[in-house]
């Protein structure tokens, strides 16, 4: 468990806090929706409410992460967000296709949602059009992915954040500022098994010590790509969800945990881990947990 010498930046969206010394704030969990097929809004509404309920019970914050694959789904998904989420509640949009990215940014502005939007994500594949649209329609927060195809070690991740690693003209952190995005979360880029995947966890404290920024990752992706787990189907869900405790132990602040339907078991699991971290860091480093921390919510 860690304490960092670098001053730690803390960002806040509607009383959800990202960052700080380990043990100060609970880990923020991003639960994904609409990964496969057409958006199922009826099921999504139930899953979101279930996530918000377990979040309230445990003190672990939850953010719905909406995967938007097709241009035709943009308006229906954004309208759903406005209807279902509590007023001003933050959410993230997860978009891969560069063409869809620029359409979504304009639509978010048209729907009046940019002040609630966490943009997932900004990385070295950014196009000129995407950068232009981010500048015109900046979200309140962005996830910056520290993926460096030339060097997948923690040092390589730092390099791409700092100077672009000669892959783009400037570092990703400076690029976000250029676009008008002041609140940045660093995703340490969990890669496939055998492709230096463990560096995503090892880089969490490195990023926090180097930049003082909230860090996290989607370690769930490594489990999804671990084909050997097909021989242990009963164990795969346990491996998947338990892998996320590494983020808290290594000082991380947020995690993208995959499908939102995992919420019922994952939130108590992370609450338990956050409580362990908090108990230690308060006793050893003097970090007092915030008022809504699971340690205050659940320990009686």
Nearest to 12 by CA among 294, 290, 295, 297: 290
Separate counts of helices (H) and strands (E) for the chain: 12, 10
Residue 5 domain-assigned? no
Report the distance separating Cα 176 and Cα 222, nearest Å.
Answer: 27
Residue 241 domain-assigned? yes
Residue 123 domain-assigned? yes
Nearest to 121 by CA among 135, 101, 136: 101
Residue 139 domain-assigned? yes
Give the domain range for residue 38. 10-298
Per the structure, the count of domains in the chain is 1
What is the sign of the dihedral through the CA atoms of 91, 96, 100 and 103? Answer: positive
The tens-digit pLDDT sequence of the chain (300 residues) is 789 999 999 999 999 999 999 999 999 999 999 998 899 999 999 999 999 999 999 999 999 999 999 999 999 999 999 999 999 999 999 999 999 999 999 999 999 999 999 999 999 999 999 999 999 999 999 999 999 999 999 999 999 999 999 999 999 999 999 999 999 999 999 999 989 999 999 999 999 999 999 999 999 999 999 999 999 999 999 999 999 999 999 999 999 999 999 999 999 999 999 999 999 999 999 999 999 999 999 986
Helix (H, G, I), strand (E, B) or coil at 275: helix
Residue 4 domain-assigned? no
DSSP 138: -
* Domain at 63, CATH number: 3.20.20.20
> 22 preceded by cis ω (within 30°)?
no
Whose tokens are 């892959």? That residue is 167
- Identify the H or E element spanning 16: strand 16-19
Residue 181 domain-assigned? yes
Residue 58 domain-assigned? yes
């Amino acid at each position: 468990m860690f304490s960092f010498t670098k001053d730690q930046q803390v960002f806040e969206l509607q009383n959800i806090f990202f960052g700080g010394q380990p043990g100060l704030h609970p880990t923020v969990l991003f639960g994904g929706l609409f990964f496969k097929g057409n958006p199922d809004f009826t099921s999504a509404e139930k899953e979101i409410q279930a996530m918000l309920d377990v979040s309230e019970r445990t003190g672990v914050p939850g953010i719905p992460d909406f995967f938007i694959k097709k241009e035709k789904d943009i308006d229906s998904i954004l309208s759903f967000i406005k209807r279902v989420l509590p007023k001003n509640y933050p959410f993230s949009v997860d978009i891969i296709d560069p063409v869809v990215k620029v359409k979504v940014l304009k639509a978010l502005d048209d729907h009046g949602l940019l002040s609630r939007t966490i943009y997932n994500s900004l990385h070295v594949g950014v196009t000129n059009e995407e950068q232009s649209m981010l500048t015109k329609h900046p979200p309140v927060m962005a996830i910056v992915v520290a993926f460096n195809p030339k060097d997948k070690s923690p040092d390589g991740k730092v390099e791409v954040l700092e100077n672009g690693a000669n892959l783009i003209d400037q570092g990703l952190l400076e690029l976000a500022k250029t676009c008008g995005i002041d609140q940045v979360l660093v995703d340490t880029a969990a890669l496939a098994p055998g492709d230096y995947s463990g560096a995503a966890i090892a880089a969490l404290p490195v990023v926090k010590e180097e930049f003082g920024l909230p860090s996290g990752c989607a370690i769930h992706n490594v489990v999804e790509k671990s084909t050997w787990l097909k021989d242990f189907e009963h164990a795969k869900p346990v491996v998947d969800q338990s892998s996320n405790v590494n983020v808290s132990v290594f000082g991380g602040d947020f995690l993208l945990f995959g499908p939102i339907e995992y919420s019922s078991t994952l939130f108590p699991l992370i609450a338990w881990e956050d409580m362990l971290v908090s108990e230690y860091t308060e006793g050893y480093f003097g970090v007092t947990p915030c008022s809504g921390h699971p340690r205050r919510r659940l320990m009686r």
